[in-house]
Amino acid sequence: MLTNVLCKPILKILSCLEFITDHFLYTFFQARKTSLATRRKSVDCYTSQMRPPDKNLQHIPVLRDTFTLESGDEHSTVYSILNPQSEETIIDVTLGLGGHAIGFLERIGPTGKLIGIDADPENIRLAEERLEPWKDQTTIIHGNFRDLQSLDLPTVDILFADLGLSSPHLDDAARGFTFREDGPLDLRFDRTRGKTAAEWIASCSEKSLSHIFHAYGELREHRRLASVIVRALQGEKRGFSTTAALRSLIEKTFGYRAPQLLPQVFQALRIAVNDELGALGSLLEHGPSLLKTGGRMGIISYHSLEDRMVKQAFRALSTGTKDERTGGIAVPASFKLLTKKAVVPCPEEIARNPRSRSAKFRAMTKLKIQETRYKE
């Protein structure tokens, strides 16, 4: 009781102090930001991930190019691990702008086949232009890799995925993936279906918003953010239709900490709006059965939630089932890991393409089906 009486005013004073400090620091940093911007117009006030929009809509594929390390060895690439051979058939389920696909096509030669899938019709259009020289051996499908089962695909030698978003998504403010510039709060890979981020936020309860910010953005302040969003929605009755409106609310609420939180908030929204983890779960469930014997499956992921799912699924498939009685292998594994540890870009690649810095690549190969059971 006494503790309660003493603690309440102290907590109130502490929270006032936090508010004053936040606002003082926010004002200080805003002023500093303006002065820096005047001195050097191109200074990026946030992270290096955000760049001025690239009007040519380029995307540098990750782990595609060969880099020679100081030791003289060549750093592993998607191709050195998945080892595409002439005449093979490949599915690239995240075609993007076709960067990795071109590398596969060059290796499988004129008798090989490539099937490219992407959820984004705008990227499909760009990829079609780039893959024009190989059009006779390429099939391009607008679709989501969550629906692999219903796409009527053949069995293949390689199944490849390079998850997440492409550079044009970030560079084109009209897509709503970047908070650096104003644009519609959309964040969908596929603008032909589903709810935009703005619509999605408006339809979410405070509890689910808080869960999303916590689970997908790893935000410590998830409860406070969900609460201010819901209060703002109730107050204005207009929702957040633009990236600038959401950013401004976050800046007002979190002051000088906003620049660190904004990437996490936008990442969380993107994962939720596109149900990225649900789609990956489906890919991990159905992708392996599309491989021929000897076929290879490889996935590049960009955040720990995705990488954990890939690692666990590949490990499970590459581990035989033990006989509980004898401890021996009862059912041998039908896959073998091609990457014991995740392959990450070398420092030279990260220096050239900072967006590659969080990439992790894992791969496995399908073994001959061994019907024989462990015999005592």
Ligand X SMILES: C[S@@+](CC[C@H](N)C(=O)[O-])C[C@H]1O[C@@H](n2cnc3c(N)ncnc32)[C@H](O)[C@@H]1O
Which residues sit at the interface with ligand X, rule CB under 6 A? 59, 61, 93-94, 96-100, 117-120, 123, 144-146, 162, 164-166, 189, 279
C-beta closer to ligand X: residue 277 or 367: 277
Q: C-beta of 324: minimal distance to ligand X in Å?
A: 38
Return the bridge partners of 117, or none: 141
Smallest distance from ligand X to CB 302, Å:
8
* Terminal-residue alpha carbon distance, the chain: 68
Task: Return the number of the residue (151 or 329) whose C-beta is nearest ligand X.
Answer: 151
β-sheet bridge partners, residue 159 = 91, 297
Inter-CA distances, 150 with 77, 147, 156, 187, Å? 31, 6, 16, 25
In whole angstroms, give the CA distance from residue 292 to residue 368: 9
Nearer to ligand X, 196 or 248 (CB): 196
Cα separation, 274 vs 188, whole angstroms: 6
Which position's Cβ is nearest ligand X? Answer: 96
Q: How far is the CB of 147 from ligand X (least distance, A)?
A: 8
Least distance in angstroms from the C-beta of 185 to ligand X: 18
- Contact call for residues 239 and 247 (beta carbons, < 8 A): no
> With respect to ligand X, which residue has the nearer C-beta, 61 or 287?
61
Please report how close the Cβ of residue 262 comes to ligand X at its closest, in angstroms.
21
> CB neighbours (10 Å) of residue 213?
26
Helix (H, G, I), strand (E, B) or coil at 68: strand
Which residue lies nearer to ligand X by CB, 261 or 359?
Answer: 359
The C-alpha atoms of residue 97 and residue 105 are separated, in whole angstroms, by: 14
Q: At what angle do helices 258-273 and 243-254 cross, to 10 degrees?
A: 140
Indicate the residue among 76 and 166 with the shorter CB distance to ligand X. 166
